[in-house]
Amino acid sequence: MSESIIKSKQVQKEVNGISTEVVCTEFSNYIFIVLSQYGKIGTLVSVSPDSRSNDISTPAFSTKVLLGKDEPLTHVCAKNLAMFVSQEAGNRPVLLGLALKDSSIDAIKKFKEIIKSCKVW
């Protein structure tokens, strides 16, 4: 059987008492991460390195809600969860599906650890 070209990992963990699923998939031009506490993709956010940034040491990232509610908190969560992935993946854009019951700072830190454990890039 031939191996799939697309690498994907899935993890399910409890975060602050809530069952949380993370699926990380690597495509040639972007990383797709679904972080769900509802069993669905939820709000789809694109997080990409901003090429207009002049300061190389602190790259700027732009976030854009492609599907779902466009709220300021969504952009903050997306940036926090996807920036390190993009940087580790050679500044590839990240497509992030968020369906969260708990978006506290504590939960975001735990989500980042789960995403790191699903590393496919």
DSSP for residue 4: P
What's the rounded Cα separation, in Å, for the pair 85 and 120?
10
* Cα Rg, the chain, nearest whole Å: 14
Structural domain for 94, as ranges: 17-117
Instruction: Tell me the per-residue pLDDT of 33-50, one tens digit each, with 9 for 90 and over.
Output: 999 999 999 999 999 998
Give the long-range contacts of residues 26-29, CB within 8 A, separation 24 or more: 26/89, 26/120, 26/121, 29/92, 29/93
pLDDT over 70 percentage in the chain: 90
Whether the CB-CB separation of 45 and 98 falls below 8 Å is answered with yes
Q: Is residue 5 part of a domain?
A: no
What's the rounded Cα separation, in Å, for the pair 63 and 65?
7
pLDDT at 66 over 70: yes
CATH of residue 57 = 3.30.230.90
pTM above 0.85, yes or no: yes
Q: What is the largest CA-CA distance in the chain?
A: 47
Q: Is residue 56 part of a domain?
A: yes
